[in-house]
Structure formats: C-alpha cells, structure tokens
C-alpha cells in the first residue's frame, strides 16, 4: 500500500507547498499520520516522515550506496559541477567525502575560532546603529567572508574584493528557477543566447572559476596553508574536483549558517531570560545554538531518491520516489522533545543529545560541515553580544518563509542595534 496524501492535482500541491509549506505539511501530518506523500509537479512523488525512527530507516538506505546525490543533481549541477559531494553517489561520492571530512573535523576547525571572531568583529563594526535592518543579510556577509578566507584561503585584497562581489551573484543566479530548473538538454542552446539568464550565469561562473583555478595552481606551488583548500590539495583530488568542492562548500555552508544565526537572534530577542545568560556561559551558548536548530531547523528536509523499493511504517514506497524526514516535524515530536513549542536550551545541557535532533540530516550523508557551522554560530553570537545591544522592533515572532531549500525568518530577522553601554566599574 502506498502512503496516503492529498488527492488534489500535483500542480496544486506544489503551488500550495511553495506558498505555505508548513501549513500544507502540518495539515497532512494531522490528517494522514507520520508517513504521507506529497506529489510534485514535474518530479517524482516524495514521502515525508515525522519521527526519528522512520527517518533512520530512510537514512539506512545510504548503506547500500543510495541516491542522495541523484536527488539533488538536476538542480545543482550547473553550479557545483559534476564532481561534488552533494551530487555524487557510490564510490565517487565516498572518495570525495573521504577527502572533505578531515579538514572539517571539530579539532581542525577549532583552529579557525580566532579568525572567525576577528572577521565577525570587523563586519559588526560596520552595522548601522539606531535603525532597523535585516540581520540575515549581515550574517551572510560574515559567513561569506569565512568561506573566502578560511575555506578558499584567499588573502589578496583585490581577489577578495572581486569574490565578495561575484559570489553572491553566482549563488543568486545559480539558485534561480531560470537556471536550476532548466532541463539539462537545453543548457547548451540557452548558454549561447546572451540575453538569457542562463548565459549571464555562465559569465559569472567563468569569472569565479578563473580566480579559483588560478588560486589552486598557486597553492600547489606553495603548499602548507591551514585553509581548507590547502588541506584538500594533498587529498588526491584533481583541480576540477577541488574547484567543484570549493563551490559545494560555498553553496552548502554560506546561506545555511547565516540563516541559523538569524534564527538564533530572532528567538533570543524575544526570550530575555535566555538572552541574559549569554554569551559567556560556554555550555549554555552551545545549548542555545542546538536548541535554535531544533526549534527552527534551517534545512527542512534530507531526502533520498530510492534506488530500491522501501517498506516504511507499514507502507511500500516504490523505487524512483523520494523519501525522507520533514525535519521540523521530527523536531516537534513531543515523544522526543517534551513541550516542543517551548524554546528550552536546557534540553541540550550536560551533553544530552537526542537521536531525533537532525538539523544536519543523518546516515552516511550527514552534513560534513556541521562542526564548522556550530563553531561559527557560537563564535558569532558571542561577538555580536559582546559588542552590541540588539532589539527586535516588533516582538511578534517572525513566521517561516521558504528560501530555496531553507526556512528563513520572514523578515530576515529585523533588528535595531545600539552600542553596548560599557559595564559600570565601582
Ligand atoms: C546551520 C548550518 C547548516 C545546516 C543546517 C546544514 C544542513 C545540512 C543538511 C540537512 C544536509 C543533508 C544531510 C543528509 O542528506 O542527510 C547537509 C549536507 C551537506 N552540508 Fe551542511 N548544513 C549547514 C552548514 C554547512 C557548512 C558550514 C558546510 C561546509 C562548509 C556544509 C556542507 C555540507 C555538505 C558538503 C553536504 C553534503 C554531504 C554529503 O552529501 O555527503 N554544511 N547539510
């Protein structure tokens, strides 16, 4: 038996999801239970699950190789190329994952903490005071700079400036419907018509690639840097593969981490009792970051494209369909997180961890940048709170809105910043 789901046409389900994803999914969960099907227009149907146990059964399909990469390939390949850990499967994926994992381990990234703090301090100093602005955009400037300096290892001021201008354009155009949804067979012809968005995207991509390939060549000539690119050079990957992985880390790690930070402040500015305990209590800060990603997970799904039929919760899902957790539903399961609507960092104190906490997905495809993301969030929250006092102009919580594969605060976390009054000395 197939999992149940809405009966109206796929085009209407897709349109509803794009307008109000949480509304559609919560309604399906109430009506059909922990396993249900959404039918997409132009893509295979997707089975969403709402508990940790069911999610783990889907993640277990990674053991046989699985097709997590294929689930993303069509949209991402123009941007990340053919050699990206995001879109590869099987042995090719395993080889790339083996190269990317060591430079992104907790121990390695811990060495970046001081430089992350310095980058944050530099950017925070330029924030406007006394008038509202969207915090998410400012956080993206910080996370982009971290990628340019610590992942790409670029130090030359001219190249840094060019990348600061080019990379946001690359991400915007590469993530736009006009590029991501263009069928592969039309990419060749579309690329040769200069007035089309696809051709403009190719131009930006060529400019970024020229810098990255040149940087790879230079760094091979002077080995020994501590940035991620330098560490990848010894891993056996070729230049094209390294280029694709650098863009992969940009795409996977830039907007996600900035949005996580935006949610952290969206919550903190409405919860004075939590805010008061920050930023100097290290373990509480860590718990706040984890609770933010529980209560407001940035990435809402971690789908697998099934290469074999899967029996799940009493249903049979055919090969060729997508299946995976709808992460916000798993995080709202009261069996896993009592009183799930409450923001309670205490859940994560004293090393407590729940298998239902899955903001970074699971199985063998678990987010390779999770340790870097958690470190960035802790360090940047601390730097902001040491330097500025932030308030929300409106105390009503910000709703969630869909931004590519992420849920972002509807107003991108509107805040007003004031200089922090120096602590009074007796
Ligand atoms: C708060 C920030 C972040 C969130 C919420 C997040 C979330 C995720 C999720 C849900 C997945 C899919 C896992 C799965 O399919 O089971 C993923 C994969 C991935 N993430 Fe992250 N991520 C974040 C930050 C980062 C950062 C900073 C980097 C690197 C610099 C990164 C690199 C990747 C890569 C390369 C993959 C693909 C892994 C694979 O398929 O083997 N992410 N991430």
pLDDT at 183: 83
Task: Assess if residue 129 is contained within a domain.
Answer: yes
User: Quick check: bond before 41 cis, omega within 30?
Assistant: no
Give the residue whose CA is nearest to atom 14 of ligand 1: 361
| Domain harbouring 95, CATH code | 1.10.630.10
Q: What is the arithmetic mean of pLDDT over 336-357?
A: 93
How does the average pLDDT of the chain come out, rounded? 94
Is the distance from CB of 124 to CB of 116 less than 8 angstroms? no
What lines the ligand 1 site, CB under 6 Å?
A: 68, 85-86, 97, 248-249, 252-253, 256-257, 260, 298-299, 302, 359-363, 365-369, 372-373
What is the rounded CA–CA span in Å between residue 176 and residue 311? 35
pLDDT over 60 at 273, yes or no: yes
Residues 32 and 43: their CA atoms lie apart, in Å, by 22
pLDDT, position 423: 54
Best substitution site from 96, 148, 171, 369 to test ligand 1's pocket, by max atoms within 8 Å of Cβ?
369
Domain annotation covers residue 199: no
Q: Say if 190 falls within a structural domain.
A: no
Q: Is residue 198 part of a domain?
A: no
In testing the pocket of ligand 1, which one of 65, 360, 367 has its CB within 8 Å of the most ligand atoms? 367
**Predicted pLDDT of residue 404:** 74
- Overall domain count for the chain: 1
CA–centroid distance, 101 to ligand 1, in Å, is: 12
Q: Is residue 57 in some structural domain?
A: yes
Q: What is the residue with the minimal CA distance to atom 13 of ligand 1?
A: 361
pLDDT tens sequence across 237-259? 999 999 999 999 999 999 999 99
The protein residue whose alpha carbon is closest to atom 26 in ligand 1 is 253
pTM (2 d.p.): 0.96
**Among the residues of 254-305, which ranges form H helices?**
255-268, 272-276, 282-295
361 CA closest ligand 1 atom index: 16
The pLDDT, as a whole number, for residue 426 is: 47
2-13 burial, b for 16+ CB within 10 Å, e for fewer?
A: ebebbeeeeeeb
- What is the structure's pLDDT at 144? 97
Q: Which atom of ligand 1 is nearest to the CA of 69?
A: 40
For residue 297, give the ligand 1 atom closest to its CA.
5
For residues 350 and 281, which has the higher predicted lDDT (pLDDT)? Answer: 281
| Cα(293) to centroid(ligand 1), Å | 13
pLDDT exceeds 70 at position 422: no
* Euclidean distance between CA atoms 416 and 422, whole angstroms: 18
Residue of 7 and 196 predicted with greater confidence: 7
pLDDT in tens, 58-97: 999 988 767 888 878 888 999 999 999 999 999 999 999 9
State the residue range of the domain holding 116. Answer: 10-153+225-419
DSSP letter for each residue of 17-38: HHH-HHHHHHHHHHHH-SEEEE
Helix (H) or strand (E) holding 49: strand 46-49
With respect to residue 163, please indicate whether it lies within any of the assigned structural domains.
no
Atom in ligand 1 nearest the alpha carbon of residue 84: 35
In a domain, 174, yes or no: no
Query: Is 73 part of a structural domain of the chain?
Result: yes
Task: Summarize the confidence of residues 333-347 as an average pLDDT.
Answer: 96
DSSP string, 72-135: HHHHHHHHH-SS-TTT--HHHHHHHHHHHTGGGSHHHHHTTHHHHHHHHHHHHTTS-SSS-EEH
- Rg value, the chain, Cα: 22
What's the rounded Cα separation, in Å, for the pair 229 and 340? 40
Going across the sheet that includes 388-391, the strands are: 133-134, 414-419, 388-391
Q: For strand 388-391 and strand 414-419, is the pairing parallel, antiparallel, or unpaired?
A: antiparallel
């Amino acid at each position: 038996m197939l999992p149940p789901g809405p009966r109206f046409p796929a085009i209407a389900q897709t349109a509803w999801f794009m307008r109000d994803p949480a509304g559609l999914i919560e309604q399906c969960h109430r009506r059909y239970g922990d396993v249900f099907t959404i039918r997409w227009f132009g893509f295979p149907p997707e089975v969403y699950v709402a508990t940790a146990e069911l999610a783990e059964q889907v993640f277990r399909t990674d053991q046989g190789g699985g097709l997590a990469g294929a689930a993303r390939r069509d949209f991402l390949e123009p941007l990340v190329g053919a050699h990206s850990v995001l879109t590869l499967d099987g042995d090719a994926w395993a080889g790339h994952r083996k190269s990317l994992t060591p430079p992104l381990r907790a121990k390695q990234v811990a060495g970046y903490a001081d430089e992350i703090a310095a980058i944050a301090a530099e950017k925070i100093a330029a924030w406007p005071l006394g008038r509202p602005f969207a915090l998410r955009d400012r956080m993206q400037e910080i996370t982009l700079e971290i990628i340019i300096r610590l992942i790409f290892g670029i130090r030359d001021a001219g190249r840094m400036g060019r990348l600061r201008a080019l990379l946001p354009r690359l991400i915007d155009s590469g993530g736009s419907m006009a590029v991501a949804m263009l069928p592969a067979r039309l990419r060749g012809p579309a690329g040769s018509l200069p007035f089309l968005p696809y051709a403009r995207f190719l131009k930006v991509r060529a400019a970024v690639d020229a810098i990255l390939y040149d940087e790879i060549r230079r760094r091979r000539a002077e080995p020994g840097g501590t940035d991620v690119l330098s560490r990848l050079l010894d891993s056996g990957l070729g230049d094209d593969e390294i280029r694709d992985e650098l863009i992969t880390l940009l795409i996977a790690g830039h907007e996600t981490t900035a949005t996580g930070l935006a949610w952290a402040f969206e919550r903190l500015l409405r919860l004075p009792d939590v805010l008061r305990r920050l930023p100097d209590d290290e373990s509480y800060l860590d718990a706040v970051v984890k609770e933010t990603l529980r209560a407001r997970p940035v990435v809402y799904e971690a789908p697998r494209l099934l290469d074999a039929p899967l029996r799940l919760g009493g249903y049979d899902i055919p090969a060729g369909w997508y299946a995976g957790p709808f992460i916000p539903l798993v995080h709202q399961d009261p069996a896993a997180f009592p009183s799930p609507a409450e923001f309670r960092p205490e859940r994560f104190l004293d090393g407590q961890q729940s298998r239902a906490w899955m903001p970074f997905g699971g199985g063998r495809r678990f987010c390779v940048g999770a340790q870097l993301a958690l470190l960035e969030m802790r360090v940047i929250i601390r730097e902001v709170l040491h330097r500025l006092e932030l308030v929300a102009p409106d105390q009503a919580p910000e709703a969630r809105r869909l931004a590519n594969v992420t849920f972002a605060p509807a107003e991108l976390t509107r805040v007003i910043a004031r200089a922090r009054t120096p602590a009074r000395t007796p």
